Amino acid sequence: MRFIAISILCVGLLAGCTSSTVQGEGLSPIPGSIIYKGQPHSRLTRSPVGSTFPHGFTDEWGRRVEETYIIRPDRTLAIVNRQYLPDVSRNN
């Protein structure tokens, strides 16, 4: 009985550990993101579904940002990762 209770608890905890980044909406776009004002008009027809690519830009506060996008099955883009890069000009 104890084993069954622990198993049910573990299954419940693991069910909450799903990643919605790829299947869900991903990260919210910020100014400078490719999809900030909506999806691009041109569809990525030559790139395979599930492929990723980076995009670097400077945000509205002057910070360097590197985002990684994934191509969904419907050929739209989702942001799967965002990193704020260090400002090397201030290290002098």
pLDDT in tens, 40-74: 988 788 899 999 999 999 999 999 999 999 999 99
Q: Which of 41, 42, 30 is nearest to 67 (CA)?
A: 30
The Cα–Cα gap between 78 and 27 comes to 7
Whole-number percent of the chain with pLDDT over 90: 57
Handedness of CA 77, 81, 86, 88 (dihedral sign): negative
The length of the chain in residues reads: 92
Residue 88 has pLDDT above 90, yes or no: no
Amino acid letter for position 34: I
Is residue 10 packed enough to be buried (19+ CB in 10 Å), middle (13-18) or exposed (0-12)?
exposed
The pLDDT, as a whole number, for residue 20 is 38
The pLDDT, as a whole number, for residue 42 is 85
